[in-house]
């Protein structure tokens, strides 16, 4: 697999770098359990955020910040692996305990990605489907979030500072949005960790890759403690 193209436009990277440096001084707002796509408690990076990034990949309407994946445990780096399980090609498998997401392919392999998951007591498990997809999606708080924190903005436009990142897959059961997402993140150090309030987060370049491979309607199985609750 060829490596990603790295853009050299200084203006775009300068904007992203300024944003990343400013975030070092900010904590993420604590939110309720249903605020599944933000960190629940104030969280400051333990490392220089800018050091996590090596450039950008062209995208519209924003370039995707590219992470230095050498900072990740190798098992959380995107890779093709063997798969001999029972699930059909096109199925997304999320293993909460292993912090990994697999996309089953037709040739006895799967694409494997590292993910960040919900804190103990907040991770969802079960079966769903991809009900819709979003590119640089806007974020809006749930009714519960607003009731607990009336000062929350009612929406946040998509962008590099948005907690949903570059792409989002919205999980549905039947015709009901269950408020859990598989989405990007601007906190790459959270991959492999239990930090969110339930959503499955991926590197922005990884969710962009998965987004292109997965259609609306794809089956999603989320496993915890070796079991699915279906």
Mean pLDDT score, 58-76: 96
Average the pLDDT over 106-119 and give the result: 92
Active site residues per annotation: 183, 199
**In the predicted model, is pLDDT for residue 222 greater than 80?**
yes
Helical ranges in the chain per DSSP H? 10-23, 143-148, 204-213
The confidence score (pLDDT) of residue 43 equals 42
* Separation of alpha carbons 205 and 166, rounded Å: 8
Rounded (10°) CA dihedral 198, 203, 208, 210: -60
pLDDT at 34: 40
* Lowest-confidence segment of 19-28, 41-50, 118-127 by average pLDDT: 19-28
Q: What is the pLDDT of residues 131-146, one digit of tens each?
A: 999 999 998 877 766 8
For residue 228, pLDDT beyond 90: no
| pTM: predicted TM-score of the whole model, two decimal places | 0.80
Contacts of 177 (CB under 8 A, 6+ apart): 131, 170, 171
pLDDT tens track for 88-103: 999 999 999 999 999 9
Q: Which CATH number fits domain 10-223: 1.10.220.10, 3.20.20.70, 2.40.440.10, 3.40.50.150?
A: 2.40.440.10
Q: Tell me: the pLDDT tens digits for 172-181? A: 999 999 989 9
Whole-number pLDDT of residue 144: 67
Q: Answer with the residue of higher pLDDT: 61 or 10.
A: 61
Given a cut of 50, whether residue 5 has pLDDT beyond it is no
**What is the pLDDT, as a whole number, of residue 227?**
72
What is the pLDDT confidence band of residue 81, given thresholds at 50, 70 and 90? Answer: very high
Each residue's pLDDT tens digit, 140-171: 877 766 887 898 888 889 999 998 999 999 99
Cis peptide before 61 (omega within 30 of 0): yes
| Percentage, residues of the chain above pLDDT 90 | 60
CA nearest to 18, candidates 65, 60, 70 = 65
Q: Are 222 and 206 in contact (CB under 8 A)?
A: no
Distance CA(184)–CA(92), nearest Å, equals 16
């Amino acid at each position: 697999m060829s490596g990603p193209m790295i853009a050299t436009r200084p203006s775009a990277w300068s904007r992203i770098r300024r944003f990343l440096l400013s975030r070092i001084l900010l904590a993420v707002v604590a939110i309720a359990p249903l605020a599944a796509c933000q960190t629940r408690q104030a969280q400051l990076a333990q490392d220089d955020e800018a050091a996590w990034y090596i450039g950008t990949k062209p995208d519209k309407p924003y370039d995707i910040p590219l992470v230095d994946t050498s900072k990740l445990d190798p098992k959380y780096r995107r890779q093709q692996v063997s798969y001999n399980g029972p699930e059909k090609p096109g199925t997304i498998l999320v293993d909460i305990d292993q912090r990994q997401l697999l996309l089953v392919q037709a040739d006895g392999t799967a694409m494997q990605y590292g993910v960040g998951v919900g804190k103990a007591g907040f991770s969802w498990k079960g079966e769903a489907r991809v009900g819709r997809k979003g590119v640089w999606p806007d974020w809006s708080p749930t009714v519960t979030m607003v009731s607990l924190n009336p000062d929350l903005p009612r929406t946040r436009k998509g962008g590099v500072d948005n907690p949903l990142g570059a792409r989002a897959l919205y999980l549905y059961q039947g015709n009901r949005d269950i408020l859990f997402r598989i989405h990007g993140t601007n906190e790459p150090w959270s991959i492999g960790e239990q930090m969110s309030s339930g959503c499955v987060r991926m590197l922005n370049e990884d969710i962009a890759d998965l987004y292109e491979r997965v259609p609306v309607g794809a089956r999603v199985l989320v496993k915890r403690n070796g079991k699915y609750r279906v």
